Amino acid sequence: MTAMMGTMSIVEAVIVAVLVVWLGLTVVGQFVRNPNVWRKDPFSIIPRWAFFVGGSIADYSLLFRDRLVDGSYGPWREAPFVRRRVWWHVFFNPASRCRRVGRVLIVQTLSGLHTGAAAGAHENPHCRALMRAALSFPPTAEARAREAIIVRTFGLISNRVPEPIVRLALQSVSTGQTA
Partner 1 sequence: MIEQVYAVTAGLLGIALLVSTAEHLYNRQEMAPEGLLSWTVLKVGWESSQSAALRHGVAWVMGQRPFTAMLVVQGFATVLMVALAARGVVSAVVQGVILGSQLLVHYRNRYALEGADQMMLIIAAALFCYALAPASVLVASAALWFIALQATLSYLVAGVGKLATPSWRSGEALQVMINSEAYGIASGATVLLHRPHVAKVLSWQVMVVESLFPFTLLLGSPLGAVFLVWGAAFHAGNVLVMGLHRFFWAFLASYPAVWFCMSQRWSE
* 47 sits near partner 1 (criterion: CB under 8 A): yes
Using CB under 8 A, count the residues that bind partner 1: 61
* 19 sits near partner 1 (criterion: CB under 8 A): yes
Per CB under 8 A, the list member of 51, 116, 176, 179 interacting with partner 1 is: 51
* 74 sits near partner 1 (criterion: CB under 8 A): no
* 122 sits near partner 1 (criterion: CB under 8 A): no
Cα 70 from Cα 19, distance rounded (Å)? 64
Name the nearest CA neighbour of 63 among 124, 117, 140. Answer: 140
Distances in Å between the Cα of 96 and the Cα atoms of 107, 118, 120 are: 16, 29, 29
* 129 sits near partner 1 (criterion: CB under 8 A): yes
Name the nearest CA neighbour of 158 among 57, 38, 68. Answer: 57
Cα 165 from Cα 110, distance rounded (Å)? 13
Q: Which residues bind partner 1 (CB under 8 A)?
A: 8-9, 11-12, 15-16, 18-19, 22-23, 26-27, 30, 39, 42-45, 47-54, 56-59, 81-82, 84-85, 89-94, 96-105, 108, 125-126, 128-130, 132-133, 135-136, 161
